[in-house]
Amino acid sequence: MRWLILTLIVILGMLQYRLWVGEGSFEELHALRTQIAEHRAELDVLRARNLALSAEVQNLKTGLEAIEDRARSELGMIQRGEVFLQVIETPEDEPGP
């Protein structure tokens, strides 16, 4: 009877070890849940970025205002009859003339 109790205690100890430390343990489960939460947050950010890019593409395909804004800001283009003024600011460190 004593050997049976001792054997059952050893088996219980092995099962407890596997539950807390071994493969598929609570610690590993917690780490996997943390990774899933991080990946979901990153996925939400990427989805929002994709929606913004999709809206920008749609606006560029259909709206002339978006194309005009891009031409003005990135290419420095102006319309007929407009005057282009470029303001050059001096850094605050350097004294002006």
- Domain spans of the chain? 2-75
pTM: 0.50
d(C-alpha 20, C-alpha 30), whole Å: 11
Which alpha helices (DSSP H) does the chain contain, by range? 2-20, 26-62, 64-75
Mean pLDDT of 8-28: 81
Contact 28, 20 (CB under 8 A): no
pLDDT in tens, 34-82: 999 999 999 999 999 999 999 988 887 887 887 788 888 888 788 888 8
Comparing CA positions, the residue from 40, 41, 20 lying closest to residue 30 is 20
